[in-house]
C-alpha cells in the first residue's frame, strides 16, 4: 500500500486488494502511523527503521539545502515545549548527555512522530529532500566513541547495510509506514 514500509517485502497488500475486489469497503486507510525515520538508501534497506534514540542523542534533521528545518514545523499548540533556537537545543542535548539539569527545552527533532514524518514529507514535496526521497539525520558532530557506545545497533546497521559511518556521515532517512 505504501512505497516505504517496515513490513517484510512479501507483504504487498494482497489481502486488501482481494477484499476490495470482493466488494469490501476499505475505510480509515489514512490512519496509519508513520515512523519518521526509516532508511531510504540503498534500495535493499529501504524501510528499515532508525531508532528515535538517534534524535534523542542529538541527531539533527536537515534538508538538501543544509537547513535544520524542524523549527519551522512545530505546531503552535506545543511550540513552547521545544527549543526556540539551535543553541537552546544544543544546551538540552549536552545537559541530557551529561546527566545534568537544564532549563533548556528539548530539540524540535523530538516532536511527535506524526509531526516529524509530515515535516519530512513536506520538505520532499517542496523540493528540499535528499536525493533518494528523504532528508538527512546527522549525529556526526557528536563524539564518535560515544555514538558507537550509545547507538551500537544504528552504527552497525548503517555501516554494514549502507556503507555509511554515522560518526562521520549523515544518514538518509524518511517516513516509513
Query: Which amino acids are annotated catalytic?
Result: 35, 55
- The DSSP output letter for 138 is E
The neighbour count for residue 102, using CB atoms within 10 Å, is: 14
Match 525515520 to its residue by C-alpha cell: 37
Query: Nine-digit cell at 114?
Result: 506524526
List of residues 6+ apart from 144 with CB closer than 8 A: 167, 168
Cα–Cα dist 166/140, whole Å? 6
Q: Which residues contact 93 (CB under 8 A, 6 or more apart)?
A: 57, 58, 107
First to last CA, the chain: 9
| Rounded distance between C-alpha atoms, residue 107 and residue 124, angstroms | 21
Cα distance between residue 127 and residue 133, in whole Å: 10
Amino acid at each position: 500500500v505504501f512505497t516505504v514500509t517496515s513490513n517484510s517485502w512479501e507483504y504487498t497488500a494482497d489481502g486488501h486488494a482481494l477484499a476490495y475486489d470482493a466488494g469490501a469497503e476499505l475505510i480509515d486507510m489514512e490512519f496509519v502511523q508513520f515512523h519518521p525515520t526509516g532508511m531510504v538508501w540503498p534500495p535493499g534497506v529501504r524501510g528499515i527503521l532508525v531508532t528515535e534514540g538517534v534524535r534523542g542523542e542529538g541527531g539533527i534533521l536537515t534538508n538538501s539545502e543544509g537547513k535544520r528545518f524542524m523549527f519551522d514545523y512545530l505546531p503552535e499548540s506545543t511550540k513552547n515545549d521545544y527549543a526556540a533556537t539551535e543553541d537552546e537545543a544544543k544546551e538540552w542535548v549536552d545537559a541530557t548527555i551529561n546527566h545534568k539539569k537544564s532549563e533548556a527545552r528539548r530539540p524540535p527533532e523530538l516532536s511527535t512522530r506524526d509531526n516529524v514524518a509530515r515535516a519530512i514529507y513536506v520538505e520532499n514535496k517542496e523540493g528540499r529532500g535528499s536525493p533518494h526521497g528523504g532528508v538527512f539525520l546527522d549525529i556526526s558532530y557528536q563524539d564518535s566513541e560515544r555514538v558507537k557506545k550509545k547507538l551500537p545497533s544504528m552504527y552497525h546497521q548503517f555501516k554494514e547495510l549502507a556503507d555509511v559511518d554515522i560518526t562521520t556521515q549523515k544518514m538518509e532517512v524518511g517516513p516509513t509506514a
